[in-house]
Structure 1
Amino acid sequence: MNPSNPLFSIIIYAIAFATAYIINLKFKFVNTSGRYENIDGLRGFLALGVFIHHANIWFKYINEGVWKEPNSNLYNQFGQTSVALFFMITSFLFVTKLLDSTNKPYNWNRFFISRIFRLAPMYYFSLFIIIAFVMITSNFKINVGIPEFIMSLFHWFVFTITTTKFINNNPLTVIINANVNWSLPFEWLFYFALPLISLLILKIKPPKFYLIISFGFVALFILVHGLELHHISSFIGGAIAPILIKYSSVKKNVNTVFYSSIIVICVALILFFKTSESIWCKLLIAIIFNIIALGNSMFGLLKSSILKFLGEICYSTYLLHGIILFTTFYFGFGMEASKQFSQIQYCLIIFSITPIVVLVSFLGYKFIEKPFMDLSKKIKI
């Protein structure tokens, strides 16, 4: 077996599901009757997909010293398609909330506070680890001027929205967490663009303050990152289902073997694409997502309590799995020793740390994410 063999991913999923099952036996905290339980289940599958994607990349990085996308279409799409679907989930959830608030005021203060408390705590926890690892691998020496060092910290403190610079001019900065932070500026772009989007939906328009902030953020983002239309299209793809749910009866007819089979066919067709940036690949991803968002449970799989458990902890999985990979191979075995591993030995190591990824993600959710989410609900605004 090698890290590009499909069996590699199947075993990782099996180990993760078994670990989640054991943890969930003792700590049940998933709402099994949620309004969007299929999407909750989908999240769990996607976060593990990103972990599998980076586990494949790490094998090449260890042996060649180059961080680049997998040669395998399957393993590249584990990462790219998963993130595209995460963007679609974000769009679906918040466009749905706007459509539900068409005739009543939308609480923008509550919205932004909830987003800050949702994304920031775990991100800053992971950032603290990244900074610590950067300094350790820099032998605790500051390699740049103090102003430049402080500015690099600032860029990361604001979710790398302004730019992604190496901390302390250390190229390991983006390896430590597998560079997963690249997607967070796009999440914030969507959130800050929402007041402008709401002009097309809400009868009671947002306060001018939020419209000005929204316009300014979007303009800054385009200036720094460009349009990145293939990512923007993911958010557009996620907004289709809420409109269909509100204004049509199509939702009543999709949880059938026929539509589940369409999803399977679309997944198979995606594997013909090297990257999800292709408009045709993105269309296939959007078809998959919208069928699921309209109520298809993929032969009942997405209703699994284990997948929903993994979906609940997926943000911690997303932010922390790269750090666990880095810790294992850089600090644990050492890069030189890791080069000596055979393909099967490497696979066995990944299998052995998969339960750790799930356990650490659970702890991150339980002790960091969930308390801050609960705290945000108590703030009177």
Structure 2
Amino acid sequence: MNNLNPLFALIIFLIACFTTYLINLKYKISHTSSRFESVDGLRGFLAISVFISHSSTWYRYIQKEQWSNDYNLYSQLASISVAFFFMISSFLFVSKLLDSREKGFNWKKFFISRFFRLVPMYYLSVFLIIFFVMIISDWKLKVGLFEFLHEMFLWGTFTIIHGSSINGCDFTYVINAGVVWSLPFEWLFYFSLPLISLLILKNKPPIFYLLISIFFIGSYFYLHTFQVQHILSFAGGALAAILTKYKFAKSVEKPFFSAVILVCLLLIGQLEESAKMQCKLLITIIFILVSSGNTLFGILKSPILKLLGEISYSTYLLHGIVLFAVFYFGFGLENAKKLTPLQYCLTVFLITPIVVILSFIGYRFIEKPFMEISKKYF
């Protein structure tokens, strides 16, 4: 077995599910009720898929110092999963706008809840990145103090302005597997919602939020290039929300539509780039079916996948840090390079429960408490 074998992905997934099953037995987690049960299950599958993709990519990085992958399954798995995450965000919040069409939308509560949902866990991950960078740097500044503080500022703003290495460390990107790239797009979507709501809500948002929305969008695209493939992902989620709200997609629970999802997944695996329009179309078809209630032969209703979905944000932020800690600090990159493909796979299998457990800890002691604070006081 090697890191490009599909069995590598399957075993990681099964280990993650078994670990989650044991956690659920021990702590008797009561899952958050949701009318989008299949979407909750999908989120858990996606989080592990990103971990699987980066676990495979790490082997090439160790061997050739290249952050890339030769096999479509693993090279696309992370980017396709993030596209689905974008669709989920768009689907959930456009659905909320549609549900609030008559009664109005609480914008203050929305932005405060997003802050408490995303910021605390993200700052913990950034702290760990800085901590590792300083260890690698022997606790010495390799750049000027003001430049270092500027780097801290950029990371503190989710790298929305632009990304940066920390203290001149070449490993900054790979410490967390580069996952921070997607978070500015999430914030772009959130700040776009007041403008989007003009097409949906009868009670239009206050001018204050519209001005903030215009300012953020204008600033974002002044600093960044327009990447249509990610906009299409959010558009696909919005389309799914409309179709689900007005029940245009009916009776999708039938096995036939589960088979359609599998066919779409197989076709996606044949494409070389996830940014291709054909890939976006296939992803959108899959998501519309799932968001409309298809459970993929019942798999997405699994309590295990739902729990993996609840801890998915911590999984997304922490899995790369765990991989880096094991291979850089645990083995040392030179020693890790000597691992046979089988030894590497076995190492990742042993890492998998650690990732799931740390993600659960992050969710239970950081994510959930701060979410409760936002609900209680705001």
Task: Tell me, yes or no, whether TM beats 0.5.
Answer: yes
Contact 1:257–1:299 (8 Å) recurs in 2:
yes
Q: Which residue is equivalent to 1:358?
A: 356
CA offsets 1:136-191 (integer angstroms, 9 cap, x no match): 11111111111111111100000000000101121211111001000000000000
**Cα distance in 2, alignment partners of residues 130 and 31 from structure 1:** 31
Please name the residue that 1:327 is paired with.
325
| Residue number among 326, 345, 348 corresponding to 1:347 in the alignment | 345
* Distance in 1, Cα, partners of 2:141 & 2:227: 34
Q: Which residue of 1 aligns with 2:88?
A: 89
Match of 1:317 in 2: 315
- Between 1:139-148 and 1:313-322, the stretch displaced more is 139-148
Contact 2:37 2:293 in 1 (8 A): no
**Alpha-carbon distance in structure 2 between the residues aligned to 1:30 and 1:214:** 36
Whichever residue aligns with residue 12 of structure 1, its letter is I
TM-fit CA distance, 1:249: 4.4
Q: Is the 8 A contact 1:88 1:237 kept in 2?
A: yes
Structure 1 CA distance for aligned equivalents of residues 31 and 365 of structure 2 = 18
Structure 1 CA distance, aligned partners of 2:207 and 2:32?
Answer: 40
* Cα offset, 1:28, TM superposition: 2.3
1:106 corresponds in structure 2 to: 105
Aligned to 1:51: 51
- What residue identity is the alignment partner of 2:308? L
Post-superposition CA distance 1:297-319 (Å, at most 9, x none): 00000000111111110000000
Q: Which segments of 5 or more consecutive residues in structure 1 lack a partner in the other structure?
A: none
Q: Does the residue aligned with 2:202 lie in a helix, a strand or coil? A: coil
Question: Does the CA-based 8 Å contact 2:12-2:352 persist in structure 1?
Answer: yes
**TM-score, with structure 2 as normaliser:** 0.98
1:1-381 correspondence to structure 2 within 5 Å: 1-31=1-31, 34-68=34-68, 70-250=69-249, 252-380=250-378
Q: Is the Cα contact below 8 Å between 1:177 and 1:320 reproduced in 2?
A: yes
Q: Once superposed, what is the RMSD of the aligned Cα atoms?
A: 1.0
**Aligned-residue identity in percent:** 57
1:368 Cα offset (Å): 0.4
How far does the alpha carbon of each residue in 1:66-96 deviate from its partner, in whole angstroms, 9 at most, with x for none?
Answer: 222x111111221111000000000000000
Q: Could you tell me whether the CA contact under 8 Å between 1:30 and 1:312 is conserved in 2?
A: no
| Aligned residue identity for 2:376 | K
SS of 1:277's equivalent in the other structure is coil
SS in 2 for 1:169: coil
Mapped partners of 1:103, 1:351: distance in 2: 50
Check conservation: 1:134, 1:167, Cα contact below 8 A: yes
TM-score (norm 1): 0.98
Q: Mind listing any 5+ residue stretches in structure 2 that lack a counterpart? A: none
Distance 1:118 1:33, change over 3 A: closer
Deviation at 1:246, TM superposition (A): 2.4
Shift of 1:33: 5.0
Counterpart residue identity of residue 66, structure 1: Q
Once the two structures are TM-superposed, the CA of residue 217 in structure 1 deviates from its matched residue by: 0.6
Letter of the aligned partner of 1:314 in structure 2? S
Number of aligned residues: 378
Return the alpha-carbon distance in structure 2 between the equivalents of residues 139 and 249 of structure 1: 60
Note if contact 1:134-1:168 (Cα within 8 Å) is conserved in structure 2: yes
Ranges of 4+ aligned residues in structure 1 off by more than 4 Å: none
User: How far does residue 29 in structure 1 lie from its aligned partner after superposition?
Assistant: 2.2
Contact 2:43 2:85 in 1 (8 A): yes
Aligned AA for 2:276? Answer: S
Distance 1:94 1:34 in 2: 14
Within 1, Cα distance between the matches of 2:84 and 2:78? 10
1:255–1:295 CA contact under 8 A, matched in 2: yes
Q: 1:32 to 1:217 in 2, by over 3 A?
A: closer
- Output the CA distance in 1 between the equivalents of 2:348 and 2:289: 33
Distance 1:318 1:358 in 2: 10
For 1:343 and 1:4, the matched residues in 2 are separated by 9
Structure 1 stretch 73-82 or stretch 336-345: which is displaced more? 73-82
Write the distance in 2 (CA, Å) between the matches of 1:275 and 1:153: 33
